Amino acid sequence: MSGLLHGLLYGLPIITVVLTVTALGLWFERKFAARIQSRKGPTMVGPAGILQPLADVVKMLQKEQLTPASADRVLFELAPILCGAFAVATAAVVPFSPTVVAADLDIGVLYVLAVNALVLIPVWMGGWSSNNKFALIGAMRAVAQSVSYSVPMVLSALVPVILAGSMSLSDIVRYQAEHHWFALWPTIPGLPAFVLFFLSSLAEANRIPFDIPEAESELIAGITTEYTGMKFGLFYMAEYIHTVIASAVASVLFLGGWDGPFYPGLHWMVLKTLLLFASIYWVRWSLLRFRSDQLMTLCWKWLVPASLLLVMAAALFVKVGGGH
């Protein structure tokens, strides 16, 4: 019972914060992209257009919800809901500060990776049930990509697990707070593992240069081609939530989470998350896109062997350098 109470007490605020951060992230991305492109971006609603995501959501809620006649109705309706739910579910175990964590699981890392991989299922459901060829190709690409990139992602997440000797996210942060951030020391395998983990989570979240499942130039809108209104909105938001959570998890695993001087832990955690979040958009708005087979080559020929080596290096470091 107390577990449920704890979950509600921390879970609801965390979800609220995550959603707010996502909305702000949407606005931030549009302004940031506009600045990169020497434009102004949204300016008309609220100061500097900060209410733009709100206006978009209000608009999407009013749009007609269409289901194509030839679509698989149940899967089509279910997919965006599941997509949003799985994206938020990851936030449950992320420790935002020593106290603010909805569920401090002993196997937090495993949970995060597992739920991350689950997002694949609604994406496939959406693409398949739309009965649209562009959506189908997009979904096929998404599945191939997510399955492939799960491997280097899991392997690089193993590096902090081995170094800290725990699968609990809070324990990993505590270890880093006591000793050193894994992205800084041991530099090998820490820093490459951080970069690898970050790249793979970008690929999992379908961000450029890994956004081939919704490559607008080829596939119009990929899996969301047939989705209207808030159903599309859920996919759209899930993508951003996914990005926020991926940044948060990466900062927990490699950048010491809430650890930092002077200010309370939550501030540091949010700061690190936002920095990673911004860097994702920096990459997104300045790079072109890979082709799907090139992505697979990159994954299986370079990232997977590299991450295996990093896991070995981490084990070696613990054995020789005297970790825990």
Partner 1 sequence: MAIEDNRSFTHPLYDFMLTVPGLSLATGRVDQLLTWGLTNSLWIFPMATSCCGIEFMATAASRVDIDRMGSIVRGTPRQADVMVVAGTITVKMAPRVKKLWDLMPEPKWCLAMGSCAISGDFYRDLYPTVPGIDTFLPVDVYVPGCPPNPEALMAGMLRLQEKVRLQREGKWAPKESRPETAKMIMPALRRINDPARDPSVDKAQLDSAMKVAGSEPLEEAPTPERMPPRSAEPVPIDGDLQALLTAHGVTEIPRDAPPLVPVARHRDLAEQLKKRGFRQLVTVVATHYPDKRDKAGLILTPEYYEVAYALRTVGRGSQLVMWRVRFEVPDGIDSLYGVFAGADWQEREQFDLIGVRFAGHPDLRRILLPHDYAGFPLRRDHASDAPCAPWR
Partner 2 sequence: MSVVKAKRQNPHFRLDLYEPEADLMVLNFGPQHPSTHGVFRMQLHLDGEKIVKAVPDLGYLHRGVEKLCERLTYVQITPIVDKNDYVSPMHNEQAINMAFEKLLGIEVPRRARYLRTIFAELQRMASHLLWLGTFALDLGGAIGGGASVFLHCFRERELILDLFEEVTGARFHYNTHTIGGNRHDITPGWAQSVKSALAVIESRIPEYESITLSNGIFFERTKGIGVLDGELALELGITGPILRASGVDHDLRRDAPYHAYDEIEVKVASAEGGDCWARSVVRLAELRESLRIVRALVDAVPEGPICGYKPIKLVGQVKIPSGQVYSAMESSRGELGTYVIAGGGEGNVSPYRLKIRPPSFHALSALPYLLPGHMVADAVVILGSLDPIMGEVDR
Q: Can you give the binding site for partner 2, defined by CB under 8 A?
A: 33, 36-39, 133-134, 137, 208-209, 211-212, 215-220, 284-294
Among 170, 201, 225, 307, binds partner 1 (CB under 8 A): 225
Q: How far apart are CA 88 and CA 17, in angstroms?
A: 11
Least distance to partner 1 from the beta carbon of 139, Å?
15
- Could you give the CA distance from residue 268 to residue 53 in angstroms, rounded to a whole number? 25
Measured between alpha carbons, how far is residue 165 from residues 22, 54, 159, 188, 322 in Å? 32, 43, 10, 17, 12
Nearer to partner 2, 188 or 220 (CB): 220
The C-alpha angle with vertex 194 and arms to 190 and 195, in degrees rounded to 5, equals 125
Per CB under 8 A, 224 contacts partner 1 = yes
CB of 211 to partner 2, least distance (A): 7
218 binds, among partner 1, partner 2, none (CB under 5 to 8 A by kind): partner 2
Locate 63 and state its tokens. Answer: 């749009």
Is 263 within 8 Å of 255 (Cβ atoms)? no
Selection from 258, 253, 132, 250 nearest residue 200 by Cα: 250
Q: Which two tokens stand for residue 143?
A: 């599945």
Pattern of binders to partner 1 over 34-73, x per CB under 8 A? x--xxxxxxxxx---x--x-xxxxxxxxxxxxx-------
Say which entry of partner 2, partner 1, none residue 16 contacts (CB below 5 to 8 A, set by partner kind). none
Structure tokens at 275: 């920095």
Site map 188..207 versus partner 1, x via CB under 8 A: --------------------
Give the one entry of partner 1, partner 2, none that residue 291 binds, where binding means its C-beta sits below a cut-off of 5 to 8 angstroms depending on kind. Answer: partner 2
Q: For residues 82 and 75, give the distance between their C-alpha atoms in angstroms, rounded to a whole number.
A: 10
Where along the sequence are the contacts to partner 1 (CB under 8 A)? Answer: 30, 34, 37-45, 49, 52, 54-66, 216, 220-221, 224-229, 232
